Amino acid sequence: MAIDTGSSTTSMISLRGLSKTFDKTIHAVRDFDLEIAEGEVVVIVGPSGSGKSTVLRCINLLEVPTEGFVTVDGYELTEVKTDLDHVRAEVGMVFQQFNLFPHLTVLQNITLAQRKVRGRGKAEAEEEAVRQLVRVGIPEKADAYPRQLSGGQQQRVAIARSLAMDPKVMLFDEPTSALDPEMVKEVLDVMLELASEGMTMVVVTHEMGFAKAAADRLVFIDEGEIVEVGLPEEVFSNPAHERTRAFFDKILY
């Protein structure tokens, strides 16, 4: 297979022929192609076990693809010579379970990577951390420990932690799925604002309201394959495939 360098110059994220197989028999992702432009917001939906999280985790190589190519901002991640740590610093990731560092305060959570990876000084990193905390609306929690925060607050800190690294891309892996219902909105609001500021975002979520409000494209995947891609409204109201229709019949009411 020839490496097509031409397409990667226009895309922020480029997935070509991506496949991921677990234990040689479970095909989580099959021959997946997706080009995501700079500033684009793409929402990935699909039934549980359809491989949407695996696709997302392949974008920063938390999951190593079995086959195919992943290019982010011109860096070919699947190339052995690429410095993964360098590229990962440019790709923010927000997890379903927040994954804040419980032994560190909110401020320390946000300054750790800034100082170790970006080489910023203490004062500079803290200033940036406070700026991001203001952005997600909880500057007063800087000295709290993650345990002392609600789920929604923890997730907002996780977003701030990623944003403090000035990422070019933000990945969200079901960011509201572990939250109590009353906290979903505060996290989605932060994400909506981020989208409106032009951040390139790939979001795996079941929040169709968010998809409608923010997504440039909706990607429906099932059994590791793209079934349908389109504008959110179009895919919701007029799905082209039976599998898509069946899925939305189950989740939309």
Partner 1 sequence: MDSDATTASPTRRKRDAGRVSDERPWWDTFPWWGVVIAAILIWMAVQIVQNDDYNLAWTRIYPGLRITVRTTFQAFGIALFIGLVIGIGQISRNLVVRNLSRIYVEFIRGIPILPLIFVMALIVVPWAQERLGYRIGFEMRATVTLALIYGAYMAEIFRGGIQSIPPGQTEAGRSLGLTGRQTMRSVVLPQAMRAIIPPLGNDFIAVLKDTSLLSVLGVLEITQKTRQFSASTFKFREGYFVVAFTYLCLTLGLSILLGVLERRMTRDRKGER
> Which residues have a Cβ under 8 Å from the Cβ of 2 and sit 6 or more positions away?
none
Name the segment binding partner 1 (CB under 8 A); options: 9-17, 85-93, 122-130, 201-209.
85-93
> Any contact of residue 188 with partner 1 (CB under 8 A)?
no
Name the segment binding partner 1 (CB under 8 A); options: 121-129, 140-148, 178-186, 240-248.
140-148
In angstroms, give the least distance from the CB of 104 to partner 1: 8
Reduced to 3 states (helix: H, G, I; strand: E, B; else coil), residue 104 is: coil
Name the segment binding partner 1 (CB under 8 A); options: 10-18, 65-73, 94-102, 220-228.
94-102
Give me 249's structure tokens: 């019949």
Nearer to partner 1, 24 or 147 (CB): 147
> Any contact of residue 243 with partner 1 (CB under 8 A)?
no
173 membership: H or E segment, kind and range: strand 169-173
Sheet harboring 225-230: ordered strands across? 91-94, 169-173, 200-204, 41-45, 217-222, 225-230
Which of 44, 70, 93, 106 contacts partner 1 by CB under 8 A?
A: 93
> Any contact of residue 24 with partner 1 (CB under 8 A)?
no
Of residues 143 through 182, those in contact with partner 1 by CB under 8 A are 145, 147-148, 158, 161-162, 165
> Any contact of residue 107 with partner 1 (CB under 8 A)?
no
CA distances from 192 to 120, 130, 185, 195, 220 (A): 28, 20, 10, 5, 20
Which of 18, 29, 70, 89 contacts partner 1 by CB under 8 A?
A: 89
> Any contact of residue 64 with partner 1 (CB under 8 A)?
no
In angstroms, give the least distance from the CB of 229 to partner 1: 26
> Any contact of residue 219 with partner 1 (CB under 8 A)?
no
> Which residues have a Cβ under 8 Å from the Cβ of 138 and sit 6 or more positions away?
106, 149, 153, 156, 157
Pairing label, strands 225-230, 217-222: antiparallel
Number of residues binding to partner 1, judged by CB under 8 A: 28
> Which residues have a Cβ under 8 Å from the Cβ of 130 and sit 6 or more positions away?
107, 139, 142
> Any contact of residue 88 with partner 1 (CB under 8 A)?
yes
Reduced to 3 states (helix: H, G, I; strand: E, B; else coil), residue 43 is: strand
- Is there a contact between 177 and 121 (Cβ–Cβ < 8 Å)? no
The CA distance from 55 to 46, in Å, is: 12
Nearer to partner 1, 191 or 235 (CB): 191
Binding residues for partner 1, per CB under 8 A?
60, 62, 85-86, 88-93, 95, 97, 99-103, 112-113, 116-117, 145, 147-148, 158, 161-162, 165
